[in-house]
Amino acid sequence: MKYVIEMKNVKKIYRNGSEVVALKGVNLKVKRGEFLMIVGPSGSGKSTMLHLMGALDKPTSGTVKIMGNDISKMSDTELSRIRRDLIGFVFQQFNLIQSLTVLENVMFPMALAGRADRKKAVEIIISCGLTEEHINKFPSQLSGGEQQRAAIARALANDPEVLLADEPTGQLDSKNTRRIMELFKSINEEGNTVVVVTHDISLVSWSDRTVILQDGRIAAEVTSPSPSDVAELVSG
Amino acid sequence: MLSVKMAIRNIRRRKIRSLLTIMGVAISIAAIVGVSAISVGMKHDIKAAIGGSASLIVKSKSAPDPISSAMDQSIEYKIKKLKYVKKVVAVWFNNRVVQVDGVSYPIMITAVEHGDYDFIVGSKVIPIKGHLPRNGEIAFGAQAWRVFNERTKLKIGEKVNLQGVVLKLSGEFKTSSQLANMCAITTLKSVKPIRGNTISCLFIQTDKPDYVKKEIERKFKGVQAISTSNAVKSMLNNLKTVELAAIALTSIAGVVGALGVSNTMLMSVLERRREIGIMKAVGATKYDIMKIFIVEAIILSLIGGVIGVVLGSVGARVVIYIISEVKGTSISVMITPSVIIFGIATAVLIGVISGIYPAWKAARVDPVKVLRDE
């Protein structure tokens, strides 16, 4: 399969008292092994797009296919399975489970899938740049950068088809931002598909392709982008 | 395994709240265990009071009960010869004012052959001081011993005047039947000067009580054979009503305990909405989430259950002890394995029932809503 994710004419409307149209017809295909970045100002629909790509939510109209599976036709349980087996999520707030250690956090998605493997979990944690002494610590005992590494390790636990990251460096300083982006790059170079959502234009040069989202629509698309190219497109 | 770890850590993280919830469950389980232990004890006492290990009791037809019955002992040897009769024990009951060291007290005397004490009580008769009485001797049950000992210092070997015969005090005994503990026991031969050839009744062991009962009543005029299982059944039936009322009242305690767990779990779900959203985002299904919260509710209740079983066992003993101090009579409190299992099983049930609604609430948390609140 060439495309990991296919979005076709996707609309998403939130009805919560008032009506908010978050996506106004988006078409996007994510190739296997690609490092894609989605940039745009806040409120442009970036997170909504990521939630749809990650089977957390269903589109109001249009289709979203993850590895060929049309998510709008799936039950909640089936969506959970898609997230568990095909998707790895990384969040801005790290979102580790506070009552579990680093190792247990990584083993949690494995246990959900019924294949908890301590040895493999430790290998993933080490490959994400943490050391043996971190694995039995609780999230509250780690720095922001370390927590994000643990969260990335958790996202990789079940060998997902695609790693989805929502503002993964939003809480980090420039040194840790660089390190986390290097980690994403190396994960991508090992053949994993990576999609990063950010409002930080300076990061776009890490990606193979950048999509600029504005007001619920894809405004532009740049391959092998530089920050200045993108800045121009955003302001223009 | 992870869900158990998470549950224990979450319980420990909110110490005061968990402790209050656990105590709620513990108190309700204590009430349930206490009432069950007393009810099992009462049943045991009734069974012991009606015939011990015997399956039939033979008494004179005119007497209202075996204790006030009187028969000639010669019938014992005749009944022994009947088909299917395995064992016949002659018993002589007598309510008598007994005198020790100038102190008088009315007491129930039970006389049988030396080896038959366990048989008529229906459980082991254990000497706690001295030995079980042989001919010419008498022993007091623990309750009776205490009543005498409050007024005069009892010594083994001292004279016990039964108004008609004087016996030697051989010791003090204890049984699981509180009724027997209020009696004095001796041998038939020791009280021969008082009773002559009279006995109160016969305790009979047989595998065919219906046949033997018919045979006895056909062959011997003026006697009646009572099947102890029927007598016990009718007594237990009367007790059932009381027992049901007690269970209904203690289930209120169970409901209160369950409400406590439910409330704690609901608060936990509200506080952990974000965590639930994350667990769903990384692939947990509704059922995975429900399992995590029900496991936590069960663990909370189970801890409460274990404490409750201990509390209830001690509590029931203390309550019955106080009642026996005040009233002078006592009943047994029996903490049998089934009472303990019943207590623990009730605790688990409380956990499951009180965990279902909070778990269902947790399973319905929308991960997108939670994550959008970032």
Phi and psi (nearest 5°) for A171?
A: -105, 10
Rounded to 5 degrees, what are φ and ψ at B198? -90, 140
* ipTM of predicted complex: 0.91
Q: What is the pLDDT of residue B342?
A: 93
Split at pLDDT 50, 70, 90, the class of B51 is low
**Residue contacts between A and B (CB atoms, under 8 Å):** 82
Q: Is the pLDDT of residue B123 over 80?
A: no
* Domain enclosing residue A138, as ranges: 3-235
Q: Which residue of B has its CA nearest to A57?
A: B368
Out of A58-72, B127-141, B173-187, least confident range: B173-187
User: Pick the residue with more confidence: B231 or A134?
Assistant: A134
A177-231: pLDDT as tens digits: 998 899 999 999 998 999 999 988 999 999 999 999 999 999 999 988 888 888 8
Q: Which residues of B touch A (CB under 8 A)?
A: 1-2, 5-6, 9-10, 13, 274-275, 278-288, 367-368, 371-372, 374
Strand order in A18-31's β-sheet? A18-31, A3-16, A61-66, A69-70
Q: How many domains does chain A have?
A: 1
- Cβ within 8 Å, pair B5-A76: no
Judge whether A12 is closer than 8 Å to chain B, CB to CB: no
Residues of B in contact with A92 (CB under 8 A): 374
Identify the band that residue B328 occupies on the pLDDT scale cut at 50, 70 and 90: low
Nearest by CB to residue B286, choosing from A76, A89, A107, is A76
Q: Residue B190: its pLDDT value, please? A: 92
Of the candidate ranges A113-122, A218-227, B39-48, the one whose mean pLDDT is the lowest: B39-48
Gyration radius of chain B over CA positions: 29
Chain B, nearest residue to A151 by Cα: B282
Task: Tell me which residue of A181, A89, A163, A199 sits closest to B371, measured CA to CA.
Answer: A89
**B282·A108 Cβ contact <8 A:** yes
Report residue A52 CA to chain centroid gap: 11
pLDDT band at A92 (very low <50, low <70, confident <90, very high): confident
Sign of the alpha-carbon torsion through B267, B270, B271, B273: positive
Residue in A56, A104, A158 nearest the CB of B368: A56
How close is the nearest chain A Cα to the Cα of B332, in Å?
47
Q: Which of A48-52, A107-111, B62-66, B360-364 has the lowest mean pLDDT?
A: B62-66
Q: Kindly provide the b/e burial profile for residues B113-137, where b requires at least 16 CB atoms within 10 angstroms of the residue's own CB.
A: ebebbebbbbbebeeebbebbeeeb
Instruction: Tell whether the model's pLDDT for residue B176 goes beyond 90.
Output: no
CATH code assigned at A186: 3.40.50.300
| Residue B7 DSSP one-character state | H
Nearest Cα residue in chain A from B371:
A91
Residue A53 pLDDT greater than 90, yes or no? yes
SS3 for A66? strand
* B90 secondary structure, DSSP code: E
Tokens standing for residue A19? 């009506």
Any chain B CB within 8 A of the CB of A63? no
A52 with A63: CB under 8 angstroms? no
pTM: 0.74
Measuring CA to CA, which residue among B113, B108, B56, B128 is closest to residue B85?
A: B56
